[in-house]
Chains A and B, each alone.
Chain A
Amino acid sequence: MSKTSVYLALIVGAFIYENRMGWSVKAAQAVETNTSKVVLPKPASCITTGLFSQQKRIAGLPANLESGGRFFHDCEAGLIWLTAQPVQEALVVANDGSTLLVAGSEIKRLSARASKLVSTIMLAMLDGNLETIEKDFSVHIEKSSAGENTHSIRLAPKSKRFKRALQFVHLQLNSERQMQTIKIIDRRGTETQLEISALSSIEKDLGSDACLNAFLTAKDNCVLLYQGRLGQESNNNDDAQH
């Protein structure tokens, strides 16, 4: 098992364990289709976790690229998107919009227009706050064929600037927050479909991991520090195994 996969597993494992996961979900607010105001289901607590599976179709490539993993969302800090299969990497999206991609020892700051837009959509959806999206997207609500509790929302970029990055985004939301689907089609026809499941809220315990918030705020040094600490933990873990 590589060092990276060990510490990625540690992020998930240690975090879930130390935060004493709670599975209760507050009564979600339904998506209103009759009014122009769209209300997304709100998370029960500030920290949410869930599983995702991703299917990506690149224009000119006949094969679907599939991946999956887990994510953590902290409403006060941002989002960690951990891909576990078939590659291991972490995408860190801070609430201020800064985005880092951590793969192995390499940390890359992402600044492309599409990255920022996708980050905004992900954060808004997990926060249950569509207002931030409405500023940049025209929202069209459609009745979903998946059932009464499921709604389809089509987001079309409003500004010329954003139209040059994304064609549209399609959200399929379940009012109980059990399953959500996001389909993103970028300007060049690359289609990414995400399915989010096993969504749950967990209690926040600030003492459990002092650096988590700093990690989420995407400060390079802290990411390195956090990685270093995790590296150390994984070494300790290896030692323990020995």
Chain B
Amino acid sequence: MFVGSKPVQIDTNLADVTPTTINSVESADAIKSLQSNIENRVLILLSSTDEFNLDRAEELLREALTGLPNLEIHPDSDEIFDTLQVQLSPFRFNFLTESQHQDLIDFNAEQIAEQAKSQMLTLIGEPRILSFADDPLGWHSSALLNFFQQRAEDESWRLIGLSIARGAMDIRAQETLSQQLDSIFTNIKSTTEVSIDTSGVFFFAADAAQSAKRDISLISSISTIGIVMLLWLTFGSLRALGLPLISVASGVIFAAAVTHLIFGSLHILTIVFGASLIGIAIDYALHYLVHQSGSKERTIGANLFGALALSLCTSVIGYAALGLAGLPALQKVAVFSCSGLLMAWITVVVVGHYFTLTDRRVSNSLAWSAKRLSNALQTVSAKAWSLIVLVLALVGLYGSQQAENFNDDPRVFFNADPRLVESEQKVAAVATDFEPGRYVIVAGNSREEVYSRVSAFTAAVRAETQFKATDFRGIPLMLINEAEQRQNYLAMNKLYAAEGAAELLADNLGVDRNLVESAMLAYKNARDERLSPVQLQSLLNRFLPPSWFESEQGSVVSFILIRKGLNADAVSDVTATLPGVEYVNTLARTSAELQKQRSAAAAYLLIAIGLIAIILVIRYRSFSALSSLLIPIGSIAGFVSLCMVFGVGINLFHVMALFLVLGFGMDYAIFSREMTRHRNITMQAIVLSALTSLLSFGLLAMSEIPIVSSFGFTLLIGNLFNLIGAMILSNPQDTLQENHN
């Protein structure tokens, strides 16, 4: 599918279906940037008991990956470290280890030179990573080694980092890359007998996209076949298929174009829900065909037009309410559905008359079945049904007050393949010692403020005996502030001044003082060289995700990672009293946010019912018109009660789907009310419409994606109740009279 000359971007970003949990704009931007960086990162873990197999596998894998166009392969940690030490070398005069600090206080230049000489003599001391000319005393080597706590190494594994250069979340790029990686992994596993595990959002997104693709293919195929069969059996003519086909096609194409235009891409979930749009968009064509077939008139009747318009209004209200959820994916669904329904409706109204079956009668079998069922249901009095609806509504209301009837677990978003989760856990065990979903955010209006808040945090943490300084990691903990760097620089004068430790070391070693001159000159020239957090972050770019963010206005947000297994509640307690320091538990926050949104959605549902009630009263100028609301209210209450009985925890997506149950229920009620002179035909159209929607939504309930199946399940049950409600409300006397005529 193309829009203009550009192919349609199909987005599979899982973050679109999770609510934003941070309120501050700066924090939200920082998290977005961090998230975008993390999304593009992939880690590949090679494991084997044979180290030489590992070396070979790593070499082969790097070579194979080099050929892939969308990937940037990170150098190994040794190469990164080598590069970093070169890049950090100009700033070496700003850093001291704790013991070097003390030595500068305790010892004179001569003693320091003596100490440096003994370190040179040690059989296996610390490696000297800088040359003698750059670091005669070996101090900067120690400080730089201390700067980076290199990841523990093991002879049984190798880790390769990748960045996906572009289109990581685009379904086409994802599919191609995923297949290429699979093929490379299979080759390497068979030739080197290493095991390969992967970590990265990419693999989960690719898996979710494949699930969604299977769902789209299954749902649209079965629902299309089912609907075509149903229409052919009902109308007995292939011509009748033209209007539903054109209206649905025009609706879907228009919806895709509008959504792409507004959001720049189509989310994979939008397409899955879009497949279900067929079930609603087709209703207009069905009502039109059922009511106009056999009629010689080329114009649409006023009643039918009114009913179609009112039906569009209520459905649009229902779908538009989805946009209130605050989840980008559902906002896209709302735009997609509202625009699609509008275009389908326009198509039916404008071109419908070309497809009416003037010399054919619609098959009566549906009407007959509906009438029999309706009669059976109407053996119970209207008052009794009203009482049942009232009881259901009360039960539903009571159930909505009980927390155990709800499920706000964020895992409802996607059903990850257990093999991927296991692989992810294996990589995490060796690749990181820090919690992935829990961290501390420190924000401030300037670098100085953030550093001062980090100091307050560090002091508070040190006061707790259960924490160690190494339990936390972040740029402000790795890098001292610029004022402290300057102090260190000045303190190093003892090393590089005339007759300082460097020159005395040269004397002590019996070599010419010229050998230390270049280091002394470099020290002099580095008077104004300070390393800023932004510079450090750009140097660490390939090694670590960004954790320091500065806005143009100067405000700063920094992340501090928490070591795995730490008592998170205690960290939360420590940060509670510190201004600008916030402990973030993403899982708990997302859960709380889901609960908040679910409650808000339930309130919006009541508002939508209220709005529809106002429209009904205005349209019919009578409060008795409110009885039409009994159908959707009964269905919603019935669904909630069923969930309570069967112990199904109601989630945000169930509540969202109830908006559509409301839309469908109102459709049926409106057509029953508007088309009073043709109740039999109306009931036929309603049954046909219900069957098509049950076909499409019923299939959604089978989806592998929990969100989609929640949606489908709600609509399947809710719409079944809607159909029953419509049958109960249809007036048997009118129907009989119509049949008699």
Does B118 count as interface, using CB distance less than 8 angstroms? yes
Query: Once the chains bind, are A190 and B128 in contact (CB under 8 Å)?
Result: yes
Please provide the 7 A-B residue pairs with the shortest distance between their CB atoms, ordered closest to farther.
Answer: A60-B132, A87-B118, A115-B124, A118-B124, A67-B121, A61-B132, A160-B55
- Tell me the bound Cα distance from A160 to B133 in angstroms: 28
Does A236 count as interface, using CB distance less than 8 angstroms? no
A-B CB contact pairs (8 Å), 12 listed: A60-B133, A63-B510, A63-B511, A65-B120, A65-B121, A65-B509, A86-B117, A87-B121, A113-B153, A114-B124, A115-B124, A164-B78
- B-contacting 9-mer, from A9-17, A51-59, A144-152, A195-203: A51-59
- Per-position 1/0 for B238-262, Cβ under 8 A of A: 0000000000000000000000000
Interface residues of A toward B: which range?
Answer: 35 or more
- Tell me the bound Cα distance from A234 to B120 in angstroms: 28
Q: Given the known A-B contacts A159-B52, A160-B58, A161-B155, are A101 and B127 also in contact in the complex, defined by CB atoms under 8 Å?
A: no
Does A83 count as interface, using CB distance less than 8 angstroms? yes
- Tell me the bound Cα distance from A118 to B125 in angstroms: 11
Complex partner residue of B124 from A63, A67, A91, CB under 8 angstroms? A91
Does B51 count as interface, using CB distance less than 8 angstroms? yes
- Per-position 1/0 for B114-143, Cβ under 8 A of A: 000110111111111101110000000000
Query: Once the chains bind, are A58 and B132 in contact (CB under 8 Å)?
Result: yes
In the assembled complex, how far is the CB of residue B138 from the closest CB belonging to chain A, in whole angstroms? 9
A58, A165, A186: which has the most chain B beta carbons within 10 Å? A58
- Per-position 1/0 for A105-125, Cβ under 8 A of B: 010001011110011000000
Does B73 count as interface, using CB distance less than 8 angstroms? no
Does A194 count as interface, using CB distance less than 8 angstroms? yes
Query: Once the chains bind, are B51 and A161 in contact (CB under 8 Å)?
Result: yes
Does B568 count as interface, using CB distance less than 8 angstroms? no
Which A residues contact B (CB, under 8 angstroms)? 54, 56, 58-63, 65, 67, 81, 83, 86-87, 89, 91, 99, 101, 103, 106, 110, 112-115, 118-119, 158-161, 164-165, 186, 188, 190, 192, 194
Query: Once the chains bind, are A161 and B153 in contact (CB under 8 Å)?
Result: yes
Residues of chain B from 508 to 529 with CB closer than 8 A to chain A in the complex: 509-511, 515
- Per-position 1/0 for B99-119, Cβ under 8 A of A: 100000000000000000110
Query: Once the chains bind, are A58 and B52 in contact (CB under 8 Å)?
Result: no
- A63 CB contacts on chain B under 8 angstroms: 509-511
Complex partner residue of B128 from A58, A67, A86, A89, CB under 8 angstroms? A58
- A158 CB contacts on chain B under 8 angstroms: 51-52
- A61 CB contacts on chain B under 8 angstroms: 132, 509, 511, 515
Q: Given the known A-B contacts A114-B124, A159-B51, are A87 and B511 also in contact in the complex, defined by CB atoms under 8 Å?
A: no
Query: Once the chains bind, are A110 and B126 in contact (CB under 8 Å)?
Result: yes
- Tell me the bound Cα distance from A60 to B518 in angstroms: 12
Nearest B residue (CB) for A158: B52
- A81 CB contacts on chain B under 8 angstroms: 123
Q: Given contacts A60-B133, A159-B51, A194-B123, could you give 15 more A-B pairs where the C-beta distance is less than 8 Å? A: A61-B132, A61-B509, A63-B510, A65-B117, A65-B120, A65-B121, A83-B122, A89-B118, A110-B126, A115-B124, A118-B123, A118-B124, A159-B52, A160-B58, A192-B123
Complex partner residue of A62 from B58, B123, B155, B511, CB under 8 angstroms? B511
Q: Given the known A-B contacts A60-B133, A62-B511, A63-B510, are A110 and B125 also in contact in the complex, defined by CB atoms under 8 Å?
A: yes
Query: Once the chains bind, are A59 and B121 in contact (CB under 8 Å)?
Result: no
